[in-house]
Amino acid sequence: MPTPDPDALWETIRQGLSKQLPEASFREWIVPCQPLRLEEDALWIQVPSPAAKLWIEQQLPEEFNDALAQGGLGDLRLVFQVSGTGTVAPKAAARPAPLASAGSSEPAVAFPHLFHRYTLDRFVVGPGSQLAFAAAKAVADNYGKAATPLNMNPLFIYGGAGLGKTHLMVGIGKEIQVRHPELRVAYLKVDNFFNELTVAIKARNTEPMRKKYQQNDVLLLDDVQTLGKMERTQEEIFYILEYLLQHGKQIILTSDKPPQRLEGCHERLITRFKWGLTADIQPPDFETRIAILKKKLEDADFKGLPSVPEDVLTFIAHKAKGSVRDLEGFLTRVIFQASLIGVPPTLEVAHAAFQGQSGEEPTAAIPPERIYRMTAETFNVPFVDLMKKRSRQQTIMVPRQVAMYLAREIASLPFTDIGRSFNMHHSTVMNAIDSVKQRMTRDQEFHRMVQALLNSIH
């Protein structure tokens, strides 16, 4: 460890977090924290409230892990203590063993200790994540067995920020480790690999680093979309992946875009990414968001707190559409805003929390025209054609049906009002909406497209 001084260690972590978090989030959650002491491999940090502790542990594990890695503090554990709660240490997650040195016969496990919630059984599956989850389960279930007809090595998972890619990846690694404890399983983020490589290059000795990662049985490589900016890192990653693939070792990769859209990556690296199975994760639909919220409320952190009514869960699910992280964060904010003022988590509290976070009126209606214009733009159809053109062509009819469906789902407009917008009878609108629903049940790509559009309209 570079220094035994708690203040210096915390300042290193703070500096890393300040580069990752929005200024408002940094001020709200990080600035009030203070280092307490260093005990063996654990830095104790005082946080001002249970809300801050819960937010940091549940919403910022990846940011803290990055700050630790980039500060050269990968072996340091963090223990968060609420101000005024005494000095007895709570039961902490076991420290992961470090990567074994080259030539070691001991298995290695390298899951960041703040990732203890990332397990497959805690991942809520919805229509937008069915393939990715099924692939994750298959990789864990089939590890070490005879080759299957479907090649899943590497498994490449892609999707937007906060949708659960890292959760799923780490969950695979943990599941494999439980079933095969003798294996070496390593989690590695590309940016942190870059920092490690920079140190090795300065020392003019990169071979031990390469061998360290080549000796793993399972390699979890996170955020490969950042490789496009890193020429030498791409080269080293290529040799590591090539070696692992040739020796039958499992690789799981994550990215915010599919392999063919990775800008700046060498073609030979993209080819390796595409060798196995590629699966995407889409934003969760409304029903899945409700299921995620209910699963979240099963956490031990929420035991003993007042129950959250259905209307509050519905409001949260309607407002936090972008990512799972946003959804869970909004729930946490509502619960603790209610506890701070000593009232149950009612709809009024949820409205206040939403307005305080977004600056928007919680009950502000979305104008139908906005829905229709965004639908036209998504389908690349002129707005006037979408609204008024009489045509049975699929290029016009399908976008119009989707616009009607969205107007009903988002704005809860009566069928007659929707029909008036398109100069159609309300029964035609009802049939159009039913048609969209039916197609969404049988056409997964169509379902994802409609759901993504629905989630993008705020």
Query: Which residues make up each annotated binding site?
Result: 162, 164-166
Rounded distance, CA 431 to CA 30, Å?
A: 52
Rounded distance, CA 34 to CA 199, Å?
A: 30
Give the type of residue at 398: V
Q: Do residues 108 and 99 lie in contact, with contact meaning Cβ atoms separated by under 8 Å?
A: yes
Q: Do residues 200 and 192 lie in contact, with contact meaning Cβ atoms separated by under 8 Å?
A: no
What lies within 8 Å, CB to CB, of 415 at 6+ separation is: 408, 426, 427, 429, 430
Rounded distance, CA 161 to CA 11, Å?
A: 27
What lies within 8 Å, CB to CB, of 323 at 6+ separation is: 160, 161, 162, 163, 283
What lies within 8 Å, CB to CB, of 298 at 6+ separation is: none
Rounded distance, CA 90 to CA 116, Å?
A: 15
Q: Do residues 218 and 184 lie in contact, with contact meaning Cβ atoms separated by under 8 Å?
A: yes
Q: Which residues line the annotated binding site for ATP?
A: 162, 164-166
Q: Do residues 439 and 397 lie in contact, with contact meaning Cβ atoms separated by under 8 Å?
A: no
Q: Which residues on neighbouring strands pair with residue 298, listed in sequence order? A: none
∠ CA 372-378-382, rounded to 5°: 65
Is residue 155 classed as helix, strand or coil in its secondary structure? Answer: strand
Q: Do residues 328 and 292 lie in contact, with contact meaning Cβ atoms separated by under 8 Å?
A: yes
Q: Is the peptide bond before 154 cis (omega within 30 degrees of 0)?
A: yes
DSSP string covering 276-338? SEEEEEPPP-HHHHHHHHHHHTTSGGGTTSPPPPHHHHHHHHHH--S-HHHHHHHHHHHHHHH
Cα 261 → chain centroid:
20
